[in-house]
Chain A
Amino acid sequence: MRSLLACLLLLIFNHAALAATEDVFRRYQDRIVQVRILVAASGAKTGMGSGFVATPDGLIVTNYHVIADLVQQTGQYRGEILGADGKLGKLELIDFDAVHDLALVKSDLPQPRPFELHTGSLPTGMRVFSIGTPFDLGFTIVEGTYNGLLEQSLYEKIHFTGSINPGMSGGPAVLNNGRVVGVNVATAGNQVSFLVPAKYVRALLSRTHGAKPLTPKAAQARLRDQLIANQAAYMTQIMSAPFMTSQLGQYQVPGRLAGFMKCWGDSQQLPENRFDQATQECSSEDDLYVSRTQTTGIVHFQHQWLAGKQLNRFRFFNLYQAQFNANYPGLRATQEDVTKFSCHTDFVKTNGVSFKAALCLRAYKRLPGLFDAVLKAATLNENQRGVQTTLVLAGVSAENVTRFTKRYLGSFRWSP
């Protein structure tokens, strides 16, 4: 009898849950759109995402990365909006927040009632529904769970447990009452997904009153200004306090520089190797989407300690040199985005640590004032032990590159 009652309750609960999901979809699907990016010359679809109506005058929210081609590849692409009723409308870019991956667009389609944005906090475990158009398969809804804001992240993101798939980017994640808590932005697979919190949508909407569509030139300039302001802010945040350090062999090296950086380490002592090796690595892990060929905004460094106690000095330096010649973690960009690297190399001594150091810079072609920088440095204090460090800064001003490099190298210490 009891088991029968339990089954009955379960059935009723499931039915209620499904009914809630169906109800949410039925009530709000007409406010969802598909955002399409087409090759201007041929009209072929080259990218797509989702969006939702956010204002009574028909402003549509989507992700910046969905419409980035309209900013970076001007003239080659155009956008269009597919409404829930199947009607197509021309897309115009009104504004964007590249740092938080949001964009506002408008179309000439009839304007349905807008979504409302949720205000205030939410308890972890709250049911949230993500709506969008995954893989161009039509409008779909995914039920998931709100798991709070990500820790150790430079940019605030909501951790959503649910399957956000490609194509759903830009769609809303809503509560049962239809209020938007976030915008679908990314997924790490295995039901680990991320949302841009609604407060950033509110901030973007608040500065875009009656704005006219952006011209390509104005859009480029806006992107540049946002990236420059953003790097200034997080660089200031990192350099506002003395660098934390950690110990690696006989060396004191820069450690976790900010709360948003994740760090990990490894060591290797294989029996066939005549040397010991240990690495420490830290990364901001939050890169910003600039275009389909370029990301930026990363702060990453790696220290590698090598000790060749069973190697004579020449054998050790052959190994040391091979490691120094190794590649750096990838900065994604093409010839259209960036110049080639130029380097300055010299022997440097600071705080008792002798280095051979090379600082390399390349400029952003379409975003003047921004650079990618790679610093490679190897200590030369000892003949059978040493530390090599690789620092990567993506999308930073030249002034911040040199300021940061000075602080970074100045944090090294050596005790024999």
Chain B
Amino acid sequence: MEPVVIAEVLEKSGKVHERVRITRFPAVIGRGYDSDMILSDEFVSAHHAQIVLDETGQPVIKDLDTENGTYLLPTMQPVSHLALGAETLLRLGQTLVRLRRPEFPVAPTRIDTLMHSRLTQFFSSGLMLTALGLLLLGMLGFHAYQISAQQIKLSKLLLETLEIAILVPTWAGLWAILSRVFAHHTAYVSHAVIAALAVISFFVADTLAEYYAFGFSAQLSAEILFHALFGLIAALVLYGHLRFATLLSPKRIGVFSGMIAAGIVALSGFATYVQGLDFNDTLPYPPELKPAQFRMVPEQSLDAFIRAAEQLPQQINPRN
């Protein structure tokens, strides 16, 4: 059987830029247009290297006395005459060239978990998007109704609801564009489902933190709780969007999303801390008021409250 050499030009990331199957020998690799494999690198000579068959019929690569030479990677050993194994990585000029034999084993086929998982079916379901959309509109409308203490005007209610609701399809659209660029599909429904879930989750987290702050009369731990929930939701949302918008591995996306979310939470916490250093005349007490049924800690007597308040002068930092 005639020997075959697969010649690949690699990008710096290791991705294959070009692949040529060489079946006739000698074959020249160079910048010249009469070469069998043409390289667009000004550091490569017109006829830079040649693949020939030795006496045994095995392919051998030779440098053709070039100005910049041919080097074996990763050792950078200069090559004048080298027998090709199953895989040989070379540097010609500034170009990485990988030479493989047909018997070189390929990696196992990667399973497309995204395409086949039930979760993907959930996120790609139009029915699910419709249901979540209605839930979101209902939730926003109900919220607008609850925070109003005046006569309800339907038009005003609708306007306040739509102002927020319009963000969801817009956000999903932006992610769909990124998906098209990097993953060659839009996955608009999936991105819209993730966005709707995000808004619902943030709303639930905010409400939870408020009731916690009231129930336990605790401002600092309620803020910490809210930041933690916010970070978790942000990480999950980013993970979801990136799974549909890129071809990166789930592990890599998970690490990236976690780092970004942690960074956002840390920045937010730092900003709050820095703001707290500035002088102000605001009263730092938790202002949440809910029905008494949501109180989770016992009431104090007036004497106990006063006794605890008597410690306040010692807590004041005279330098603040």
Interface residues in chain A, defined as those with a beta carbon under 8 Å from any beta carbon in chain B: 271-275, 308, 311, 313-321, 324-325, 328, 331, 333-335, 339-350, 354, 356-363, 365, 371, 374, 376, 378, 380-381, 383, 398, 401-402, 405-406, 409-410
Cβ contact within 8 Å between A357 and B312: no
Contacts of B282 in A (CB 8 A): 341
Number of A-B contacts (CB under 8 A): 146
Complex CA distance for A357 and B287, rounded to whole angstroms: 10
Cβ of B111 < 8 Å from any Cβ of A?
A: no
Complex CA distance for A317 and B294, rounded to whole angstroms: 12
Cβ contact within 8 Å between B312 and A344: yes
Name the contact of B149 in the complex, choosing from A273, A357, A376, A405 (C-beta under 8 A). A273
Cβ contact within 8 Å between B309 and A356: no
Complex CA distance for A381 and B299, rounded to whole angstroms: 12
Cβ of B313 < 8 Å from any Cβ of A?
A: yes
Cβ of B18 < 8 Å from any Cβ of A?
A: no
Cβ contact within 8 Å between A348 and B300: yes
Cβ contact within 8 Å between A340 and B289: no
Query: Given contacts A339-B319, A349-B302, could you give 13 more A-B pairs where the C-beta distance is less than 8 Å?
Result: A317-B290, A321-B290, A335-B279, A341-B281, A341-B282, A346-B217, A346-B305, A354-B299, A358-B285, A365-B318, A376-B283, A405-B306, A410-B302
Cβ contact within 8 Å between A317 and B301: no
Name which residue of chain B comes closest to A316, CB basis.
B149
Quote the shortest CB–CB distance from B297 to chain A (angstroms): 7
Quote the shortest CB–CB distance from A331 to chain B (angstroms): 7
Contacts of A346 in B (CB 8 A): 217, 300, 305, 308
Cβ contact within 8 Å between B285 and A361: no
Complex CA distance for A342 and B312, rounded to whole angstroms: 7
Cβ contact within 8 Å between A360 and B149: no
Complex CA distance for A346 and B291, rounded to whole angstroms: 15
Contacts of A275 in B (CB 8 A): 149
Query: Could you list some 20 contacts between A and B, CB below 8 A?
Result: A273-B150, A314-B146, A315-B148, A317-B291, A318-B147, A321-B287, A333-B281, A339-B317, A339-B318, A341-B284, A343-B283, A347-B298, A354-B292, A356-B214, A358-B283, A359-B305, A359-B312, A380-B291, A398-B313, A402-B310
Name the contact of A409 in the complex, choosing from B217, B302, B312 (C-beta under 8 A). B302
Known A360-B284, A360-B285, A376-B285; contact A405-B309, beta-carbon cutoff 8 A = yes
Cβ contact within 8 Å between B289 and A324: yes
Known A272-B150, A371-B313; contact A349-B300, beta-carbon cutoff 8 A = yes
Name which residue of chain B comes closest to A314, CB basis.
B146
Quote the shortest CB–CB distance from B302 to chain A (angstroms): 4
Quote the shortest CB–CB distance from B160 to chain A (angstroms): 14
Contacts of A320 in B (CB 8 A): 289
Contacts of B217 in A (CB 8 A): 345-347, 356
Quote the shortest CB–CB distance from B308 to chain A (angstroms): 5
Contacts of B312 in A (CB 8 A): 342-344, 359, 361, 398
Contacts of A325 in B (CB 8 A): 287
Cβ contact within 8 Å between B151 and A274: yes
Quote the shortest CB–CB distance from A307 to chain B (angstroms): 11
Name which residue of chain B comes closest to A406, CB basis.
B306
The 6 closest A-B pairs by CB, nearest first: A358-B285, A335-B279, A325-B287, A350-B302, A319-B149, A349-B299
Quote the shortest CB–CB distance from B277 to chain A (angstroms): 10
Contacts of B285 in A (CB 8 A): 343, 345, 358, 360, 376
Quote the shortest CB–CB distance from B214 to chain A (angstroms): 8
Known A318-B147, A344-B311; contact A378-B289, beta-carbon cutoff 8 A = yes
Cβ contact within 8 Å between B283 and A360: yes
Quote the shortest CB–CB distance from A93 to chain B (angstroms): 27
Quote the shortest CB–CB distance from B161 to chain A (angstroms): 17
Cβ contact within 8 Å between B149 and A345: no
Quote the shortest CB–CB distance from B150 to chain A (angstroms): 5
Complex CA distance for A378 and B311, rounded to whole angstroms: 22
Cβ of B315 < 8 Å from any Cβ of A?
A: yes
Name which residue of chain A comes closest to B142, CB basis.
A314
Contacts of A311 in B (CB 8 A): 149
Contacts of A340 in B (CB 8 A): 279-281, 284, 317, 320
Contacts of A318 in B (CB 8 A): 146-147, 149
Contacts of A348 in B (CB 8 A): 299-302, 305
Quote the shortest CB–CB distance from B26 to chain A (angstroms): 83
Name which residue of chain A comes closest to B303, CB basis.
A406
Contacts of B148 in A (CB 8 A): 315
Complex CA distance for A275 and B149, rounded to whole angstroms: 7
Cβ of B21 < 8 Å from any Cβ of A?
A: no
Cβ contact within 8 Å between B302 and A274: no
Complex CA distance for A317 and B289, rounded to whole angstroms: 6
Complex CA distance for A299 and B214, rounded to whole angstroms: 29
Quote the shortest CB–CB distance from B215 to chain A (angstroms): 10
Name which residue of chain B comes closest to A365, CB basis.
B318
Contacts of A362 in B (CB 8 A): 281, 316
Contacts of A376 in B (CB 8 A): 283, 285
Cβ contact within 8 Å between A344 and B287: no
Cβ contact within 8 Å between A328 and B308: no
Name the interface residues of B33-66: CB closer than 8 Å to any CB of A.
none
Known A361-B312, A363-B318; contact A321-B281, beta-carbon cutoff 8 A = no
Contacts of B305 in A (CB 8 A): 344, 346, 348, 357, 359, 409
Cβ contact within 8 Å between B149 and A356: no
Cβ of B11 < 8 Å from any Cβ of A?
A: no
Known A311-B149, A363-B316; contact A345-B306, beta-carbon cutoff 8 A = no
Cβ contact within 8 Å between A315 and B149: yes
Known A339-B316, A342-B316, A365-B318; contact A374-B283, beta-carbon cutoff 8 A = yes
